[in-house]
Amino acid sequence: MTERHDDGPRRPGQVKEITSLANPIIKDIKALSQKKNREAGGLFMAEGLKLVLDALETGWTIDTLIFAKSAKDKPLVEKAASRAVAAGGLVLEVSEKVLSSVTRRDNPQMVVGIFHARWTSLSAIKPKPGETWVALDRVRDPGNLGTIIRTADAAGASGVILVGESTDPYGLETVRATMGSIFTMPVARASQADFLKWRKSSGASLIATHLKGAIDYRRADYKSRPVVLLMGNEQSGIPDELAEAADVRVKIPSRARRIRSISLAPPPSCCSRRVATCWNWTPEMDEKASLFARPRAFLPFILVAVALDQLIKALVELYLPLHEALPVIPFLALYRTWNEGVAFSFLSDMDGWVIVVMRFIIIGMVLWWWRGADRRAFLLNLGFAMIVAGAIGNIIDRFVYGHVVDYVLFHTETWSFAVFNLADALISVGAACVGVWEIFFSRKRPGTGINPALRMSRKAFESECVLAHLA
């Protein structure tokens, strides 16, 4: 785009107004829709004012800035134009008809930038501890490649390596799909032979997605060495030569019975996010917890709470007279009574054994919910432990005394609350803890609620799979 045309040469820092689709400069820009022209000129197109400004601020060399005539008075457009002129770029003020022709869209962005492409040399990539590179074998779909670059960027990957004949990362559709990550993610390309040669000297662990002899991707070792995640072609996957060169082969389990494949974009998202979060992950986080996995960790607390509840009740039975209030402080008295129902004498007319069975069912339900709680959610787990301890304490009463022993009374001269005990207090406070966590904290820490379907396996893509949930 530096040759002369009939209307004169293009000069660095020049501002021109163009309204004709036949203008030679516009024809040159439109030619960038073809890969051969992009590679010949080393240029590519990016749409959007924010994208153009981000590229300029990160040091990308601009060749041409194009903006719609209707947007010329906007401060940010003027800023972009000024920076383009200062960088020696050509600035074009065009009609919307011309802009639509350039972008091949009916409703184009008001600003388009033509930038010099950047390729990272494969030999210059020397993975460091903690780094992750995403290698893609013969990617065919521009949208997939753009999505992978974007999600790898979000997951903290260091860059993308294209192996073999892949779609052009600087094609307009790919650049759109990256949503700006093309300007922040290094991109390298290499033949299969060059990639395998580089892999041997890189010191990185090559982890490939493959079905044969593969392990769950969440169980691979992402910590001991730098990681290169290798993903295969959309149709044929990874060729045997690359699969055999991998240190580890991983697979992403699917619950679908009839779906045989998914888009190429989610797997890199899953694995990249796994690498980014593996420092805080243990295999147990991804396994479905057994029914008693969570209670086991709180067993000492449950035993102490139940023992204390029973000790107090034994003392009450020995020393407190029945149905006589013993004032302690204003509004609070010790008042020994019997509760033959549940939840503050509710269902007191029901047969005692039916109530016992109901309590066991409730404990089972609580344990089932508890198994889906993240072990890091202390308040949530403590709440479940208190509920279970309180329920067990009142069940023991049924077998020892034939009823539940209550002894705490809140009252005034005109009003009194139902008499309760320590076990009832544990259940009430525990339920409050669970409610507080679910309402106020679970959304701030996704994946730590009581619903197993919402748990993140220390991944947040399992977010377009492990950069969201698994597709």
Question: 454 is written with which tokens?
Answer: 């919402």
Q: Are 427 and 361 contacting, i.e. CB atoms less than 8 angstroms apart?
A: no
Closest CA to 65 of 42, 101, 105, 79: 79
State how far the Cα of 185 lies from the Cα of 195, in Å rounded to an integer. 19
Residue 235 CA to chain centroid, in angstroms? 27
State how far the Cα of 57 lies from the Cα of 43, in Å rounded to an integer. 18
- Segment (H or E) for 26: helix 24-30
State how far the Cα of 431 lies from the Cα of 423, in Å rounded to an integer. 12
| DSSP β-bridge partners for residue 467 | 461
- Segment (H or E) for 357: helix 352-370
Query: What single string gives the DSSP state of each residue in 126-186?
Result: -PPTT-EEEEEES---HHHHHHHHHHHHHTT--EEEEESS---TTSHHHHHHHTTGGGTS-
The CB density around residue 469, as the number of other CB atoms within 10 Å, is 18
Residue 406 annotated in active site: yes
CA–CA–CA angle 190, 151, 276 (5° rounding): 95
Q: What is the largest CA-CA distance in the chain?
A: 111
Residue 54 annotated in active site: no
State how far the Cα of 64 lies from the Cα of 223, in Å rounded to an integer. 44
Catalogue the active-site residues: 406, 424
